[in-house]
Amino acid sequence: MAGVSETEASCGWVSVVMTVALLLGSVYVYRYVIKMNRRRRWRQAGKDVVVVHCPSPGLFTPCVSPFVMKFLTYLRLAQIPYQLDHEEPFGQRGLCPWMTVNGEGLADSQLMIEWLGQHFHKNFTKRLTETQQAVARAFTIMIDEHLCWCLREWRFKVDNGRNLVEAMRQPWYVHIFKYFFVEARKQTLWHQGMGRHTHTQVQHMTQMDLHALSTYLGEKPYLMGEEASEVDCSMFAFLSNILYNYSRSPYYTTITEDYPNLQAYVKRVKESLWPDWNQCVDQTRPDPNFS
């Protein structure tokens, strides 16, 4: 009798394992089919139409990610047609934004801008002198690779992601996962290095970056002179991020009180490249006339 029960028991386990394997397999196939369908749709966007993969719009900016804003601003500057996809905001390399163009995927705002610049012959930095090109390059790296981490330090270490969550429409479960997300971002800050400094030190570094931008911009309409170039896409993206999505940070106060030329710059770029700003932000925000 005992032998029969053991056989029955092992048959039971086998069925459980097979059912679980079948379920997991079905989920995998289902997800694969969905993924392939999305790619087919993106390929059908049209020749040379850029599909930008990014999160849904924020409440105050068309996207809370400054790198997405940088990329979208470039597409507008270069007048390259694009479509938005919010279903797969992170690409194969786990980076956001990424793009699909003519069926090919590419990630990293800077690499994408350089690729599109060559493909569409839209390189605005090229018309600058060699020295100006070097300055534009240095400012781009300062913004994307230094200022970016300084701002993240406030966002995650000081503010614990509160201002970020306020800038997006949130399904209820986001508040449960926020803690883990913020802790993971603090780890990233630590590994990058910025998270090892005191907030006072980071605040000083941020002020220096903003001061450098304000000084070099001076009275010019754009960072490199009379016309906008690629570096303005980074600059506009990060400064507008501070003004709209870091409203409780000391950096918001720095710009609005100490650097009126940076504030005027954001207004100018926004008016010229984002006249439809209010239609691009999440329409559920409390005040649609917020500017």
Ligand X SMILES: N[C@@H](CCC(=O)N[C@@H](CS)C(=O)NCC(=O)O)C(=O)O
Q: Which residues bind ligand X (CB under 6 A)?
A: 65, 67, 94-96, 108-110, 144, 188
Q: Minimal distance in Å, beta carbon 69 to ligand X? A: 9
Nearer to ligand X, 3 or 94 (CB): 94
Nearer to ligand X, 206 or 234 (CB): 234
Q: Which residues contact 119 (CB under 8 A, 6 or more apart)?
A: 48, 101
Nearer to ligand X, 188 or 291 (CB): 188
Q: Minimal distance in Å, beta carbon 106 to ligand X? A: 10
Closest CA relative to residue 158, chosen from 116, 210, 200? 200
Closest CA relative to residue 52, chosen from 15, 20, 90? 90
Nearer to ligand X, 141 or 261 (CB): 141
Nearer to ligand X, 90 or 252 (CB): 90
Q: Minimal distance in Å, beta carbon 55 to ligand X? A: 8
Q: Minimal distance in Å, beta carbon 136 to ligand X? A: 16
Q: Minimal distance in Å, beta carbon 110 to ligand X? A: 5
Sheet order of strands, 82-85 included: 82-85, 50-53, 98-101, 104-107
Q: Minimal distance in Å, beta carbon 93 to ligand X? A: 9
Q: Tokens at residue 233, please? A: 């896409």
Nearer to ligand X, 155 or 270 (CB): 155
Q: How far is CA 37 from CA 30, 32, 33, 55, 99, in A?
A: 11, 9, 6, 19, 16
Cβ atoms 163, 155 nearer than 8 A: yes
The stretches of 173-259 forming alpha helices (DSSP H) are: 174-192, 199-217, 230-245, 250-253
